Amino acid sequence: MEARVATGPVPADGKEPILSVEQVNCTFSVRRGLFGKRKPLKALNNISLDLRKGEVLALVGESGCGKSTLSRTIMGLQESDSGSVILNGQRIENLPPLPRARMIQPIFQDPYSSLNPRKTIGEIIAKPLAVHSIGTRQEQRAQVEQMMELVGLPRRVFNSFPDQLSGGQRQRAAIGRALIMRPEVVICDEPTSALDVSVQAQILNLLLDLRDELDLTYLFVTHNLSVVRHMADRVAVMYLGEIVECGDRDSVLSRPRHPYTKALMDSALSISPGREIPDPGLDGEFPNPMNRPSGCSFHPRCPIAEAQCREQAPRPEIIGSSLVKCWKAQPSDNQSIN
């Protein structure tokens, strides 16, 4: 099978990706202390990633590895140093606001801070229609009511303010606002992690139902592996601004190839269901992105690193149905990377 630069073998149906991230780099300039010198912090290091129409691709990794920066870059909210984000064949920066809004929408983590507290739920969900001057007020109202029904919000909250709603209802409103433009791709950045466990499952199931009903494609950022198991078709594992492994959900979860993925999975086995991973239980702290290790960026914490790993960055290779960045990952299913 032909290798793509991005995230795995070409799918059997040969479908073009709906969204491609191609060799994206993003560096922040960070000042240490009030009078400290500015230093570069490389948050995204040559990221390539494909989203295929209709799939849920989960993006997982420890806090600080760059998941939100990547999500923001994909939405055109964060400028990159180099590389490109291509939506349906067009670079995102070349898409005018309306086609962009019809193409891609975000759902953020915290429904408490992402909704304007001074607007009613009806106004909040209608906002994208108002911004893009779509329809008359009556038509907008009809669309909002229809959307509220789709996301499971009772009509009586149309004139309520966010603080009169439960956390789950607020997130339903945020989902309604994201979907009112009928986008093709939705970027969900930890959309349930601020919610009670009992409400999380309802929202996840709602997102899955909406995917089927509205023909959506999701990039789903999470650091909760039970969420990955529930939602994802494919999984991309991020470490220190890089995708280190990407493949079908079952391969990545049950036959992880990269030592980092393996550590994540092992740590997830030892916690109770519904809890978040991960403290992957690796030696050493999550490294400082302002001071990247040489060679493979995971080598200081890797139990199987050798001289080559310290000196040379590994190139992504296809192993089984996954793309893996590791000198020591084994090609055969029978061989373990232990």
Ligand X SMILES: Nc1ncnc2c1ncn2[C@@H]1O[C@H](COP(=O)(O)OP(=O)(O)O)[C@@H](O)[C@H]1O
| 92 contact partners, CB below 8 Å, separation of at least 6 | 74, 75, 76, 84, 85, 86, 100, 104
Residue whose C-alpha is closest to residue 28's, from 60, 67, 63, 69: 69
**What's at 328, amino acid-wise?**
K
* Alpha-carbon dihedral sign for residues 67, 72, 73, 74: positive
Please give the residue whose beta carbon sits closest to Mg ion in the complex: 68
Q: Should residue 42 be labelled a site residue for ligand X when binding is judged by CB under 6 A?
A: no
User: Contact, 231 vs 207, CB < 8 A?
Assistant: yes
What does 295 bind: ligand X, Mg ion, none (CB cut-off 5 to 8 Å by kind)? none
Strands 185-189 and 217-221: parallel
Among 43, 49, 75, 175, binds ligand X (CB under 6 A): 43
CB 86 to ligand X: min, Å: 21
Tokens found for residue 288 = 């400082």
Q: Which one, 8 or 241, has the nearer CB to ligand X?
A: 241
CB atoms within 10 A of CB 23: 15
Q: Should residue 68 be labelled a site residue for Mg ion when binding is judged by CB under 5 A?
A: yes
**What's at 335, amino acid-wise?**
Q
CB 134 to ligand X: min, Å: 32
Quick note: the x/- pattern for ligand X over 266-305, rule CB under 6 A, is -----------------------x----------------
Q: Should residue 63 be labelled a site residue for ligand X when binding is judged by CB under 6 A?
A: yes
Work out the burial of residue 167: count CB atoms within 10 Å of its CB; fewer than 13 is exposed, 13-18 middle, 19 or more buried.
middle
Among 52, 67, 249, 301, binds ligand X (CB under 6 A): 67
Residues 115, 134: Cα–Cα separation, whole Å: 21
Quick note: the x/- pattern for ligand X over 69-108, rule CB under 6 A, is x---------------------------------------
CB 15 to ligand X: min, Å: 28
- Contacting range for Mg ion; rule: CB under 5 A; set: 35-43, 67-75, 127-135, 234-242: 67-75
Residues 138, 141: Cα–Cα separation, whole Å: 5
What does 65 bind: Mg ion, ligand X, none (CB cut-off 5 to 8 Å by kind)? ligand X
- Per CB under 5 A, residues contacting Mg ion are 67-68
- Per CB under 6 A, residues contacting ligand X are 28, 30, 41, 43, 61, 63-69, 289
